[in-house]
């Protein structure tokens, strides 16, 4: 799609911050009218200053918290995302991560490879009949809940906006954050990252959870105070955690690596073939639409003061 658009395309294969780009890519960035990229590259005011001709940043992710949206708006740069494009895939991954950590699937795999057969997996929690706490009720959570219900779980939901008709459709019960944490056997995070939700789960919240409870996070690493969670897992004040996201990404070294009651994956929940292709195509369309002088429905920054077509 991009090659057929008639625009000059430069591909940067590494996950390299803009300020660390090689000279040839730095030159291309300076000339660029559009950048298509993912979430891990922090794009602040200093980074944006390296692209004075930029008109659009088209993200192939739903999250945009790594981009300084205020600075982008000030520079008349449209930022777009692909929110919801991989909701189904993220929901099914959350189910897999939940089952892996609660039923000790990875523990069993490690034990078997070490020649210990079932000595470390004599028992595990019953997911069937458990109380499942869901924090956040966006598109991923709405896809996750119908997958969880056949397990016979009671589902508590904490969200800013309560829709009673939706609650009836999904078969859920709304709860305060404190009540959800106290009563859930498994807590799953699906909330968006905002200044209000950063470290939503900290020492106080973890202390409310049952010692037998598990915490699952495929949303954003910054929703959890990582040091507090590390201490809770080390002390066994909660039973375990399944984490697909972290405060610092990419993650190449961490004290979490030493814990056998944590299952860790590299932000892969949405990385199925279909989801990746869908995100790539949608991001490319968003970029080209801005270059044609239009504002995509995926835009998350205000419309620029002037729109121009670029060749």
Annotated catalytic residue: which of 33, 60, 158, 220?
220
Tokens 């405060």, residue located: 247
Cα–Cα nearest to 266, from 294, 282, 245, 247 = 245
Q: Say if CB 135 and CB 189 are below 8 A apart.
A: yes
How do 173-174 and 186-189 pair as beta strands? Answer: unpaired
Active site residue 160: no
Catalytic site residue 220?
A: yes
- Coil, strand or helix at 183: helix
Annotated catalytic residue within 25, 33, 60, 267: 267
Q: Concatenated DSSP letters for 149-175? A: GGGT-EEEEE-SS--HHHHHHHT-EE-
Q: What H or E segment, with its residue span, contains residue 79?
A: strand 78-80
Measured distance CA(243)–CA(255) in Å, rounded: 13
Phi and psi dihedrals of 140, rounded to 5? Answer: -70, -45
Q: Which of 71, 92, 247, 249 is catalytic?
A: 249
Give the helix/strand (H/E) hosting 140: helix 139-148
d(CA 73, CA 32): 17
Q: Supply the residues annotated as catalytic.
A: 220, 249, 267
């Amino acid at each position: 799609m991009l090659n057929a658009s008639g625009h000059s395309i430069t591909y940067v294969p590494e996950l390299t911050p803009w300020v660390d780009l090689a000279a040839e890519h730095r030159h291309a960035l300076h000339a660029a009218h559009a950048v298509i990229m993912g979430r891990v590259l922090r794009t602040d005011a200093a980074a944006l200053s390296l692209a004075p001709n930029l008109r659009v940043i088209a993200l192939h992710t739903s999250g945009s918290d790594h981009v300084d949206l205020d600075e982008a708006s000030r520079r008349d740069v449209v930022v777009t995302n692909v929110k919801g494009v991989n909701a189904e895939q993220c929901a099914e991954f959350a189910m897999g991560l939940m089952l892996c950590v609660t039923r000790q699937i990875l523990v069993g795999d490690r034990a078997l490879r070490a020649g210990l057969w079932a000595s470390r997996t004599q028992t595990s929690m019953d997911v069937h009949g458990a109380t499942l706490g869901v924090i956040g009720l966006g598109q991923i959570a709405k896809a996750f809940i119908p997958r969880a219900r056949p397990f016979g779980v009671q589902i508590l939901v904490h969200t800013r906006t309560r829709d009673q008709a939706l609650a009836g459709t999904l078969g859920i019960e709304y709860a305060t954050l404190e009540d959800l944490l106290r009563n859930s056997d498994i807590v799953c995070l699906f909330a968006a990252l905002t200044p209000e939700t950063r470290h939503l789960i900290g020492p106080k919240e973890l202390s409310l959870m049952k010692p037998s409870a598990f915490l699952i996070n495929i949303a954003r690493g910054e929703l959890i105070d990582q040091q507090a969670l590390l201490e809770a897992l080390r002390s066994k004040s909660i039973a375990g955690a399944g984490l697909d996201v972290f405060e610092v990404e990419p993650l190449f070294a961490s004290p979490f690596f030493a814990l056998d009651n944590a299952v860790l994956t590299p932000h892969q929940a949405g990385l199925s073939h279909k989801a990746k292709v869908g995100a790539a195509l949608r991001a490319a369309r968003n970029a080209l639409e801005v270059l044609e002088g239009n504002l995509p429905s995926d835009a998350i920054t205000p419309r620029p003061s002037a729109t121009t077509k670029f060749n």
